Structure 1
Amino acid sequence: MLVLLPGREKSLLRRHVWIFSGAVAALEGEAAPGETVVVTDSKRRFLARAAWSPESQLAARIWSFDPEETIDAAFFRRRIENAVEYRKFLGLDAPEGGCRLIHSEGDALPGLIVDRYGEYLVVQFLSTGVEHFRAEIVAALQAATGAKGIYERSDVGVRAKEGLPERSGLLAGAEPPNPLVITENGAKFAVDVRHGQKSGFYFDQRDSRRAVREFAAGRRVLNAFSYTGGFGVAAALAGAEHVVNIDSSAPALKLARHNMEMNRIPPERYENREADVFGELRRFAEEGRKFDLVVLDPPKFIESQRALTRGCRAYQDIARLGFGLLAPGGLLFNFSCSGLMTPELFQKITADAAVEAGVRGRLVRHLEQAPDHPTALAVPEGFYLKGLVTRI
C-alpha cells in the first residue's frame, strides 16, 4: 500500500495520474519496480491503483481510479482496444497509413508509446509499469490490431530515470522492412523504424504538414531541422517553386532525398544541405538570401526547468533568424516541442524575435500536436507541441 502525505491526494481527486516521490509518506509492505500498488490518502482511504517506480522522481503512475478494477491482461486489452477505436474515429485506420496508436497518459496507459506503420507497430516502454506488463501488452496489441510485426524502440535515455536499461529489437511477428513506406495526405514517406529519431517519423506534425501545403504553392521554401524532409515534401507537392532542406544528419537527409524521389519531385526543385542550422541560417542572411516560407521545427531545447531560460533564448534566436530570411509577405512556421514551454510564452518569444528582426508580424494560425497524440483533460502536461504561423 502506498500512503500519501496529508493533503497530497488533491491532484488525484482531480484525476491527475502522477504521484511524485515527495508526496509519499510510506510504502507499507513490499513492491518490486513496476508492480501494482494500492494508493491511499493519509487516512488509508482508497484513491487508485498505480505502478510503483522507486527510482524515479515520479514514484507512481495511476492505472485506475476504480476500486473494482484489477490490473491484469484483460485491463490492458480494454485500454488498447479503446485506443484503437479512437484512431478509427479519427479516420486514421487506413491500412497503408500510420499514426500514433497509443499516447501514454493521453490513452490512460502511462509510459506506453505505440506507433503504427501500416501493418507494423513500433513500441516504446518508458516506465516500470508498462515494462512489468510488457508480455501482456504485446499480446493485447497483437489481438487488437493483427499486426504483422511488433518492434521495440525503448533505446531512450528516459528509461534510466526509471532504473531500466535501453533495449530494442523484434518483439513479435515479422521483422519490419527497411525502410517502411507509409502514405500521409497523399504523400509517401520512407521510415527507418530501427534507427530513426523516436520511432522513425513524427506523426504529431501531420496537421502542420497539411497547413504548409495550404500556403506553399509558388513559394521559395526553407525547411530547417528538416529530418527526413516531411515539411519539404508537403511543400513540394503543393507546388512550391523550390525547397531547401537543412539538417545536421546525413542519414536523415538521405531519406529526405528518397522521399522527394518517391513523390516524383524533380531534383531541380529541391536542395538538401547537411549543416548546423543556426550557422547555415546566419550564412544565408549574410548572403542576402530570401524565402517566402520558412519552417523551423527544432529539437526540444528545454529538457528541464533549469534549462528554461537558455532554451527560450535558443527558440528566440532561431525565430529571429527565420524572420530575417523572409521576403515581404513571407510566412514563418515555428514550433516548440518542449512541454515546459507554454503557448503564451512561445508567442511572446516569437513576438520578441520579430522585433529583433525588425519586422511586423500578423498571427495567421496556431498549430498543435495532431489528435492521435491526445491530451488527457486532467493531465495538461501532455500538451507539448506548439506552433505559430506568422505573416510579415
Structure 2
Amino acid sequence: MNPFQALLDAIATIELPSEAQRVFHGRGGLFPGCEQWSLDYFTPVWLLTSFQAVSDEELAPIQTALAQRWAEIAPGLPLNLVLQTRDDARAETRLLTGEVPDPHIVEAQGARYRVHLLKGLNHGLFLDMAEGRHWVHDHVAARPGLKKVLNLFAYTCAFSVVALKAGARQVINMDMSGAALSIGKQNHQLNGLISGASFLPHDIFSSWGTISRRGPYDLIILDPPSYQKGSFVAEKDYAKLMRRLPDLLAPDGHALLCLNSPKHSAAFLQDQMKELAPELSFVARVANPAVFADVSSDRALKVLVYKAPSL
C-alpha cells in the first residue's frame, strides 16, 4: 500500500469545490503516514503542501491521482497544480502543471480576496480561519451600532473585509508589512468597500499611543504569528497585548484572541488572561472548520472570545 494512501483516497472522492477551501489536512494527525501533507483549492489552482522534502517518485502517484480525479469532475479544464515544500522558516514553491492567474482572485464566504501561491510562506488568505471570519461577520451583523474595530496583525485584512461587509462603521488595520496592507487595500476594493477602513503600516509595540488615541474599540482582533523573528514571539509578546486590552475595549466590547501554534495550548492564553486582564471574561472558543480536525485541540488553531464588563 502507498504510504500516502489516505491522501490518495481523499483525492479519489473530491468534489469540485465552490470556493477556496482545504480538502485534505494531514497535519491534524488523523491520517497516519500523511502528516506532512495538505491539499488546498484556491480557485482554479490546487495547492499541494509538504512539510518535508519530497522526491519526484513520491510525488508522481499523488499528481496522477489528482489529474485523474480532475478529469472526472472538471472534464476539459486544465489541471493547475502548485507544490510548496516548507518548514517553519522557508518555503520552496513550484508550478507542477497548468498556470496560476495573475492577478489571482478567489472567493470565500461571499467575499473576494487576492492570493499569491507562488511566493512566500503564506498565500494571502488563511483557510483555517474561516470560522473566525464567520464569527466576526455574525458578531458585527448582530450589533448594528458597532462603531469601531481594531484589527492587529491585520496581514491582508480579511477580518476587516468581513467586518465592514457586516456593517461595522470603522476598522483600523495595523501590520508591520506595508506590502501585506497593500493587498489588504486591494481586497477592500474587490469587495466594493471604498470607505471605513484605515491601514497603518506600524510596529504595534511602538504604536500604543496611536492605538489608544483612536479607541476605545467595540471589537479587537489579535491574530499574531506564533513566531516571527524580530517581530513576535508568542511566549513573551502575547502578554504585552493582553495587558492593553482592558484599557482599549469599550464597555461590553469583545476581543478575539487567535494563536496558531501546536506548541501552545488554549490554556497558554486563558491562564495569562486571568492574570493580566482579569476584568475580561471568557466567552467561548470558536470551533475550527471540520476539515481542520486535529488529534489534539491544543495543537490546533486557537480562537478565543473575551468580553469586557458593562458600564
The two structures have a TM-score, normalised by structure 1, of 0.68
For residues 207-218 of structure 1, the aligned pairs below 5 Å read 207-217=131-141, 218=146
Matches within 5 A, 1:94-173: 94-95=17-18, 97-106=19-28, 108=31, 109-128=34-53, 133-146=58-71, 148-157=79-88, 167-172=92-97
How far is 1:81 from its partner?
Answer: 3.5
Which whole-Å deviations, capped at 9, do the CAs of 1:198-255 have from their partners, x for residues lacking one? 2442000000100001122433011111111111101000000101111111221111
The answer to whether residue 204 in structure 2 is matched with residue 292 in structure 1 is no
Amino acid across the alignment from 2:22: R
Per the TM alignment, residue 368 of structure 1 is displaced from its structure 2 partner at its CA by 4.2
CA distance in 1, matches of 2:300, 2:255: 20
Structure-2-length-normalised TM-score: 0.84
Structure 1 position 384 matched with structure 2 position 300: yes
Task: Give secondary structure in 1 for the equivalent of 2:38.
Answer: strand
Deviations 1:162-218 (A, max 9, x none): xxxx5322111x221123212112111111112254244200000010000112243
AA of the residue aligned to 1:361: L
Cα offset for 1:322?
3.3
Separation in 2 of the partners of 1:329 and 1:130? 54
Residue 203 (1) aligns with residue 134 (2): no
Cα distance change, pair 138–121 in 1 and its aligned pair in 2 (3 A)? same
How many Å separate the matches in 2 of 1:272 and 1:288?
A: 13
- Structure 1 pair 259–302 and aligned structure 2 pair: CA distance change class (3 A): closer
Matches within 5 A, 1:235-250: 235-250=163-178
Q: Secondary structure at the match of 1:122?
A: strand
Contact 2:221 2:256 in 1 (8 A): yes
Shift of 1:367: 1.8
The answer to whether 1:318 aligns with 2:269 is no
User: What does residue range 271-350 of structure 1 map to in structure 2 within 5 Å?
Assistant: 271-285=198-212, 287=213, 289-301=215-227, 311-350=234-273
CA offset digits 1:332-372 (Å, max 9, x no partner)? 001111111112232112222313xxxx2222221243222
CA shift in 2, pair 1:213/1:168, >3 Å? same
- Runs of at least 5 residues in structure 2 that lack an aligned partner in the other structure: 72-77
Matched length = 292
Bigger RCO (CA 8 Å, 6+ sep): 2
Structure 1 residue 143, shift from structure 2 partner: 2.2
Gapped runs of 5+ residues in structure 1?
A: 1-69, 160-165, 304-309
Determine the structure 2 residue equivalent to 1:17: none
The residue that corresponds to 1:373 in the other structure is 292
CA RMSD of aligned residues (A): 2.6
Amino acid at match of 1:290: P
Task: Give % identity.
Answer: 23
**Cα 1:129/1:318, change in 2 over 3 Å:** same
Could you say if the C-alpha distance between residues 145 and 369 of structure 1 is closer, same or farther in structure 2, counting changes exceeding 3 Å?
A: farther
State the Cα distance separating 1:317 from its structure 2 match: 1.3
Q: CA deviation at 1:155?
A: 4.9
Per-residue deviation, 1:256: 0.5
Q: 1:288 and 1:188, CA in 2 relative to 1: closer, same or farther beyond 3 A?
A: closer
Judged with a 3 Å threshold, the aligned counterparts in structure 2 of structure 1 residues 84 and 245 are, in CA distance, closer, same or farther, namely farther
